[in-house]
A and B are shown apart, each in its own frame.
Chain A
Amino acid sequence: MRRHRAVLIALSTLLTASLTTIAAPASAAEPGQVTGLTVRQADGFATLAWQPVDGATDYQIERTPVDAAGTPTGTATIVGIWRPNRQINQESPTFADAGFNPGDRFQWRVRARFDTTEQPYSEPVAGTTTAPWGNPDVPGEQLRTQWETTHAAQYTSDTEEYAYTAAIDELSDRVRVVEIGRTVKNRPINMFVIGYPTPPATPEAVAATSPAAVNCNVHGNEPGDREACLIMARQLAFSTDPRVIDLLSHTTVLIVPTINGDGRAANTRGNSTGQDLNRDYSLIRQPETAAYVNMVRQYRPVAGYDGHEYGNSRAGDLPMLPPRHQNVAQPIFDESMDMIEGHMYTKGAEDGWWPCPYGCDGGGNVGLGEETILRNTLGLKNVVNSLLELRSSGGQTRPDEGNAANNRRRKTFSALWTFQQFLDYHRASLPDIKQARAESITFQAANTGRLVFRGSRPITAHPAPHPGSSPPPIDAPPADLILDNAPCAYRLTEEQYHGARTDGPTGAVTTAAERIADHGWKVIKVGDSYYVPLNQPERGLIPLLLDGQGVENLVDGERIYPTSTGRHTGPLTVTGFACLDDATVTGPVTVRSGAALVTTGTTITGPVNATGAAGVLLADTKITGPLRVTGTTDAVSLIDLTVTGPVDVSANRTDNQPLLVGNTVNGPLACAGNTTAPTNLNISNTVTGPRAGQCATL
Chain B
Amino acid sequence: MSYPRTSRPRRAGAILAAALLLATTACTDQSAPAPAGGTVSVTGPLCAALPTGTEPGNPTALADLPVDQALTWMPTLTTFEAALRTSGLLTDLHQDGITLLAPTDDAFAKKFSDDTWDTLMTRDHDKLRTLLKAHLIAGTRPLDELAAAGTATTLDGVTLTVTRTGDTTRFGDTADAVCADYLATGARIHLVNAVLGPLPTTADGSGHRAH
Contacts and interface: CB of A to CB of B under 8 A. Distances in A.
Given A151-B27, A405-B51, A159 B122 contact: no
B86 A364 contact: no
Contact of B21 (A153, A163, A219, A222): A163
Contact of A308 (B27, B119, B211): B211
B210 A366 contact: yes
B79 A267 contact: yes
A365 interface: yes
Given A162-B14, A268-B117, A219 B25 contact: no
Given A267-B79, A402-B49, A154 B14 contact: no
Contacts of A144: 21, 24-26
Contacts of B208: 311-312, 362-366
B56 interface: yes
Nearest to A184: B122
Contacts of A362: 208
A618 B11 CA distance: 57
Contacts of B74: 153
B48 interface: yes
A149 B57 CA distance: 11
Contacts of A267: 78-79, 81-82
B72 interface: yes
Contact of B51 (A143, A151, A363): A151
Nearest to A269: B114
B209 A311 contact: yes
Contacts of A167: 18, 21-22
B210 A153 contact: no
B156 interface: no
B24 A154 contact: no
B130 interface: no
Contacts of A137: 25
A149 B27 CA distance: 6
Nearest to A153: B57
B55 interface: yes
A438 interface: no
Interface residues of B, number: 49
Contacts of B10: 157
B25 A142 contact: yes
Nearest to B12: A159
A403 interface: yes
Interface stretch (A1-9, A270-278, A446-454, A689-697): A270-278
Interface string A259-292: 0000001111110111010100000000000000
Contacts of A136: 25-26
A166 B121 contact: no
A366 B30 CA distance: 42
B17 interface: yes
B75 A266 contact: no
Contacts of A387: 211
Contacts of A151: 27, 30, 51, 55-57
Contacts of B109: 311
Given A163-B17, A310-B211, 16 more contacts: A149-B7, A149-B8, A149-B26, A151-B51, A153-B56, A154-B72, A162-B14, A163-B21, A266-B86, A268-B82, A364-B206, A365-B208, A387-B211, A392-B207, A404-B75, A405-B51
Interface of A: 136-137, 139, 142-144, 146, 149-155, 157, 159-160, 162-164, 166-167, 170, 219, 221-222, 265-270, 272-274, 276, 278, 308, 310-313, 362-368, 387, 389, 392, 402-405, 408
7 contacts: A142-B22, A153-B73, A166-B14, A221-B114, A266-B85, A402-B48, A403-B48
Interface of B: 7-8, 10-15, 17-18, 21-22, 24-27, 30, 48-51, 55-57, 72-76, 78-79, 81-82, 85-86, 109, 114, 117-119, 121-123, 206-211
Closest 6 CB pairs of A and B: A311-B207, A163-B17, A404-B75, A364-B208, A267-B82, A366-B210
